Structure 1
Amino acid sequence: MSPPKKDRKIQLGNGSSDGNGTSEFGSAEFARAIAEALHRDFGETHAAVKKVVALTHANERAVKNWFSAKNGPTGRHLVDLVRSSDEVLEAVLRMSGRGDLIVAKKLGDSKRTLLKMLKLIADLQR
């Protein structure tokens, strides 16, 4: 009996388009997109890994694998990341071909920021 393989095999997608502007994503592309989003949102430090561990309650080794694009998060951990990270949310929306929702989210965020600024200006004028 041979020893088990320690590295997971990551399924490669062919990146082909389905005609609706979306591409088929394999595990490698998914892991890479999530890793890039994590780096943009949390940074490149060990503290970033620790923060994501605290947010998702995932194993530290698993989170390190997410940051290095060896694996991507699954299920509950992905939902926790989407809840905590706009960058991960946008990556998931982009991969699912829902760029229109990214624009809608950014407009909503901008509107909230503008309303806060207007309230602050009104408070300062009093």
Structure 2
Amino acid sequence: MFPKTGKTFPDGEGFTSSTYASLIADILKSELGNSHQAHKTLMRWTGANERTAKNWLSGANGPSGEHLLQLMRNSDRVFEFVLRLSHRPAVLSNQRLEEVRNSLRITADLLSEVMEIQDR
């Protein structure tokens, strides 16, 4: 639980509200970019206003409460970041699992093709 005197992370884990904000900003920028469209996407995902979305992308402030939950719902990277930050066991999102499955299928198809060529 956060102390009532501010937005700092308890237990001296090395996270402060400013590092939290900058890490969230890095995740959002890597996923959405830093364009006007990124602001609009964040606004659509969370219902936040444009200034708030810009502050998240710049790292000036980090999302809290409902906004963080909305980001986690829409962004697998934010979801995974929050899991790591909370020291929970690693959980792969459905999208990541699908990506791995598709990658394995492509690899298996390539291996089959190579084996067929070698058998000729």
Q: Same fold (TM over 0.5)?
A: yes
Q: Deviations over 1:27-84 (max 9, x none)?
A: 1111111111100111121111111111111011011111111111111111111111
Give the Å deviation of 1:11: 5.8
> What RMSD over aligned residues (CA atoms) do the two structures have, in Å?
2.9
Q: Determine the C-alpha separation between the residues in 2 that align with 1:99 and 1:32.
A: 23
Percent identity for Structure 1 against Structure 2: 38
Query: Relative contact order: is structure 1 or structure 2 higher (C-alpha 8 Å, sep ≥ 6)?
Result: 1
Gaps of 5+ in 2: 1-5, 110-120
Q: Determine the C-alpha separation between the residues in 1 that align with 2:22 and 2:89.
A: 18
- TM-score scaled by structure 2? 0.67
Gaps of 5+ in 1: 1-9, 17-22, 122-126
- TM-score scaled by structure 1? 0.64
1:32 partnered with 2:47: no
Q: Which residue of 2 aligns with 1:108?
A: 97
How many residues align? The count is 101
- Tell me which structure has the larger Cα radius of gyration: 2
Q: Alignment partner of 1:73: what SS?
A: coil
Richer in helix (by share): 2
